[in-house]
């Protein structure tokens, strides 16, 4: 849940202010190099948010399917690995195309 919070917070703090400027002025008013970086952060944060929701759904599914084996399957190390994989995948999908 903290990872989902962080991705949504980054959308609000990093992605939305330039998007609001873009909407207000009807064009891109910031530096041109910043545009590519902004698009990458937009894709990364939105992808991380969606992937975090998928990981949370998987976690809840595993808890419901086998509640007695859940603590053996979902260790803190595996949870950390899933969070790291989520952010890595989101970053690769957004920054590699640049």
What tens digit of pLDDT does each residue of 3-24 get? 889 999 999 998 888 888 888 8
CATH no. of 1-97: 1.20.1070.10
Q: How crowded is the C-beta side of 94, counted as CA atoms within 13 Å?
A: 19
Which pTM was predicted?
A: 0.83
Confidence (pLDDT) at 91:
94
Measured CA to CA, the distance from residue 74 to residue 30 in angstroms comes to 44
Q: Got the DSSP string for the chain?
A: -HHHHHHHHHIIIIIHHHHHHHHHHSS--S-HHHHHHHHHHHHHHHHHHHHHHHHHHHHHHHHHH-TTTHHHHS-HHHHHHHHHHHHHHHHHHHHTT-
Average pLDDT of the segment spanning 67-96: 92
Q: Domain boundaries in the chain?
A: 1-97
> pLDDT tens digits, residue range 23-76?
888 887 888 778 888 888 989 999 999 999 999 999 999 899 998 888 888 888
């Amino acid at each position: 849940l903290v990872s989902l919070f962080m991705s949504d917070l980054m959308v609000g703090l990093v992605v939305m202010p330039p998007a609001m400027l873009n909407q207000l002025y009807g064009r891109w008013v910031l530096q041109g190099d910043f545009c590519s970086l902004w698009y990458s952060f937009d894709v990364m944060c939105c992808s991380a948010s969606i992937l975090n929701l998928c990981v949370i759904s998987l976690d809840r599914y595993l808890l419901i399917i086998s509640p007695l084996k859940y603590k053996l399957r979902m260790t803190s190390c595996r949870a950390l690995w899933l969070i790291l994989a989520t952010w890595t995948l989101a970053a690769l999908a957004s920054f590699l195309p640049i």
